[in-house]
Structure 1
Amino acid sequence: MPKIDRHGKASVLNREQINQLFECLGSDRNRALFGCCLYLGCRISEACSLQTADVYSEVDREVRSQIQIRRAATKGKIATRTIDTHPQLRELLIKHVPGKLWVFQSRSHFWKHIDPDSADWILRQACQKAGLEGVSTHSFRRTALTALSSSGVPLRVIQEVSGHRSLNELQKYLEVSPEQVKNAIANLKF
């Protein structure tokens, strides 16, 4: 069931929808924030609470080759995840000026990171501008994990990226398209 009035599953985005949204996000900070959700396959709360030292080197503020999502920021607070920095995410992060402690500093409180509810509001404004429905902050996570699955990445590897405790939980995120089902049947050879 698609997401309607903030209920149901968040839509999985296609390339055109992603491009539309990123054009409507308005600032380098917003594009970097939602780029983290997309290219790290992380939750909005995890992206909002990224610490500057986990993304940028402390000496020269270069984007690190791997980004760390600290255990304390994850949903179950079970394990820290380290994910390679995708080249497109690197470009988004280079354009963004991080805060001293937080990558996505709150604009009203210098000691806090952006609130996930504020990020949700930013996304809803961009969706309205782009004319997209059924999209939420979780759409980026579902899109990333579905894209990995569609490209043949083993579920166990996707689980490492996503931080899901079980494969059963992970599979709830993955969308299967009619085209994938058609291709699966076409690949049967006896």
Structure 2
Amino acid sequence: MSKQAKTLTAAELRRALDYVATRRHAARNRAMLMSMYLAGLRVGECAALTYGDVVDSEGAVRDEIRLTPEQTKGRHARVVFVSERLRKELSSYVRAQPSADPSRRLFYTQKRGAVGFTANTLCQHFFYLFRRAGIEGASSHSPRRTFITNLAEKGVSVRVLQSLAGHRNISTTQAYIDVNDAMKRRAVELV
């Protein structure tokens, strides 16, 4: 069995965000990280986002992001719900990086010619970001796994988590949940 991506602690997320704030493209990197952390986006889904997916015709960040089959891992369309916290994060980014073209990629690399990220280049980007931030074992999958684990820890049912994650099988969702001692302590207190 392959090793699971690290689930980020609150302190590690803060460390990653603090590191991002000191680097070039801070607004973009923060928006990408928070999109995966607060909505459970896969890295490929994040890379594939367009302005039209995220921003409506009035320039406001949507409540829901409708991903097409071409944007998802399993080629199954899905809806990503945008929390108020994520809406604020994305609104801040869109104000700093506006675009009138709804088909334009939301996140671009720093290469000349404004090249959009691919799933692979974004995986590499986050691998190095976490490494340079000093977070051992974290990968581009860590924000998504943390999203699912945090919701499970707060009592969200596995069926809801499965739908939010866009998983076809509940066993896949269950494998994402990192059970920790705090969860077990709360569980035994329920008896």
TM-score (normalised: structure 1): 0.86
- Equivalent residue letter for 2:90: L
Matched, 1:38 2:37: yes
Partner in structure 2 of residue 94 of structure 1: 91
Equivalent residue runs for 1:98-137 within 5 Å: 100=101, 101-108=104-111, 112-137=115-140
Describe the shift of the 1:137–1:185 C-alpha distance in structure 2 as closer, same or farther (beyond 3 A). Answer: same
Q: What CA deviation, in whole Å up to 9, does each residue of 1:37-84 have, x standing for no partner? A: 111102100111012111001x33221122222221111102x22222
Letter in 2 for 1:83: V
1:75 matched residue in structure 2: 73
Who is 1:85 aligned against?
A: 82
Aligned counterpart in structure 2 of residue 170 of structure 1, from 152, 170, 173: 173
What are the equivalent positions in structure 2 for 1:14-29 lying under 5 Å apart? 14-25=9-20, 26=23, 27-29=26-28
> What letter is aligned with 1:23?
D
**Is the Cα–Cα contact under 8 Å of residues 48 and 71 in structure 2 kept in the other structure?**
yes
Matches of 2:78 and 2:41, distance apart in 1: 10
1:19 and 1:114 mapped to 2: Cα distance?
A: 24
Runs of 4+ more than 4 Å apart: 109-112
- Distance apart, 1:112 and its partner CA: 4.9
Distance 1:98 1:41 in 2: 24
Q: 1:143 to 1:98 in 2, by over 3 A?
A: farther
The one-letter amino acid of 1:74's match is: T
1:151: which partner in 2? 154
Alpha-carbon spacing, 1:137–1:98, altered in 2? closer, same or farther (3 Å): farther
Alignment check: 8 A CA contact 1:127 1:133 kept? yes
Partner of 1:12: 7
2:131 touches 2:138 (CA, 8 Å); kept in 1? no
**Equivalent residues of 1:106, 1:115 under 8 A apart:** no
| 1:176, distance to aligned residue in structure 2 (A) | 0.6
Cα distance in 2 for partners of 1:71, 1:98 equals 26
| Contact 1:145 1:174 (8 Å CA) reproduced | yes
Which 10-residue stretch deviates more, 18-27 or 103-112? 103-112
SS in 2 for 1:42: coil
Cα 1:13–1:65 change in 2 (3 A) is same
Deviations 1:114-144 (A, max 9, x none): 1233323332333233211010000011000
Length, aligned pairs only: 181
The whole-number CA distance in structure 2 between the counterparts of 1:95 and 1:121 is: 25
> Which amino acid in the other structure matches residue 123 of structure 2?
D
